Chains A and B, each alone.
Chain A
Amino acid sequence: MRAKLWGTRGSIAVSGADTVRYGGDTSAVEVNCAGGRLLILDGGSGIRAMEVAPDTKRIDIFLSHLHMDHVQGLPFFPPLLDPDIEVHVWGPVSTTRSLRQRIARYLSPPLFPVRVRDLSNVTFHDVLPGAFEVGSIHIKAELVSHPGATLGYRLTEGSSTLAYIPDHEPMMGQMNLPASSEWVSGFPLAEGADVLIHDAQYDDDEYGSRIGWGHSSMSHLTEFTKVTQPGRVVTFHHDPGHTDAFLDAFHDRLNGRLNGSASLIPGVAGLEIEV
């Protein structure tokens, strides 16, 4: 399994000289699996530029949730408009509307000129917490702590495991996690994963004024990593106000806090990771 980060920014896409290195596009991760199977995690603006092999017949897109920074790129992703490619979009179940109906709120006038019904090659799947298979990939989906129904995913192919929890506030208003892992949001997704891609939106001093917004502070990420013990942790969902220079310093401090409990990989757009 090989992952490539196409968008690592959170909340809203940004541009400018001071965000070039970490990138300005929002959440989108390409996951290439055995046999040429292509999985994509989230459809933020980063999905727009994702390159798809010419012989691709099927793509599976797993949405963590439907906040705009995770779906905004979908209609700009050429395969959604290509009748020769079978596209499956997976996302969290709702008690009121289907995934297709909820996506249609964005993909319909006046917000967007193309309608969901025009995407004849796209199938939507409402995902309940649990496990299922897509080809040879075992997928575990669990709801995690973030406003509105939000899924994290754990992808396993053979002996390789990638966990993806892009938007996650493990504890609201507190930095310490519960003593028992049974009560830690996201634990079964991240536990012992080879690679964990995780929310790293706030520095600790920023978090105090953003409690309940659904994102992690540096302390949250540190504690969550120590509890779940992934091999490598990739920072993700960078705050739109964080410059490259800020993020360099952030990662230096985070690396010290992790103190070797996992290898830290700064989530830089364009980065490829062999899981």
Chain B
Amino acid sequence: MREHFTQLSYVVAAVLFILGLRSLTRPDKARHGMQLAAWGMLLAVCGTLVNHEIVDYRWIIGGLVLGTLIGYPLGMWVPTTALPQRIAMSLSFGALAAVLVGVSEYHNAFHGGLVAIDSAHMAALGFEVLLGSLTVTGSMIAFGKLQEVLPSRPLTFPGQNVFNGLLFLAAFVLLVLVIIDPSRTAAFYTMIGIATVLGVLMVIPIGGADMPVVVALLNSYCGLAAAATGFALGNSILIICGALDGASGFLLSMLMSKAMNRSFSNVLFGAFGGETTTAAVAGGSALPVRSISAEDAAIQLAYAQRVIIVPGYGMAVAQAQHQVRELAELIEKRGGEVKYAIHPVAGRMPGHMNVLLAEANVPYDRLYDMDEINGEFPQTDVALVIGANDVVNPAAREDKSSPIYGMPILDVDRAKTVIVLKRGMAAGFAGIENMLFHAPATSMLFGDAKTSLSKLVTEVKSA
């Protein structure tokens, strides 16, 4: 009877999770759908608590309470600008949970003597802890880079790829050994150790701008580790959720690397923006740049009929999304039309810009994807670029020798005039000179994005 209740709660939960994810295809339905999914989660947890294997509830209650106490601030108080590192951190937690369950299962088999482990079971456990431990440390490094505790530039050393390859091979050999004979405990724990190191080494050489791909990929690993847990425990809801999570992460990382015109292997092993490109930057800085004052920029904006705002990571760093919306409202009040162009890899994680602008009360039907809006730039009076660089670099379209050639970009350079808000003339994360900044139609408004935008707001008001 109890067993049936548990299984039934899992079936209902699985349906609610899938419906919740499906609701994310519609922004107006999404909130309700995800609330249903949360109820599904509660149901699944209740269904598990009646499990006859559970004899002692003290640790469970303690864990649930402590987890809620940590989870609440992570859900309610983390600012939207810190979302990428917040997600990276929770990937690390999720993977850690999978690893610990795997280790405790393995430990029980050899110390409690209650469960015998066959090879299939061991294969699932092995994959679970291997992928899990790799994700734990990999996500922690990603978190460190996004939080800028660690340098966000790629950290490389000679022979890195060969070294990582050997480590991976070693972990794989140990996995095979453990599957053949599950009683090789030393091999099991060494494998965990190697995977932990591998997680660090895999993410350390990846630069800040490539983080969207990495975070999505870690998301996928985390899902696969959860699915492997399901195989190891013979628990179908875990398999289903792991598969959903894995598919989502994999799909997102595919989309992201496509939006950067790079292959997976290139992101993971390429260490973009090394020494070769710094020379190009040094050579290019002699090109002319037209700087503009906030007053002049405000006049252009005040009399523009069609304006497209292109936000980038710089807007997130300066937390300028509220000023952006204020400026857009002023332009609209004066009769202009304002749209937002969002590049798929703008920011540090997929869709980050959309959340920031939504937070600042920008209606989501003004936010346009790259493909939807690229045709409109030629009819645009002013394109306002806020802290974006590589995603608007025309070299991606024109210069075959450029490292970013072929990457889909926003065609900002086709607008009648372009105003770029930027701190200084530093190159983007790819370290590549941007000819857009030297184009005759472009004026540069230097300074912190938030300060510049506040000035623009004041000036447009009085214009």
- The answer to whether A and B come from one shared complex is no
Interface residues of A, Cβ cutoff 8 Å to B: none
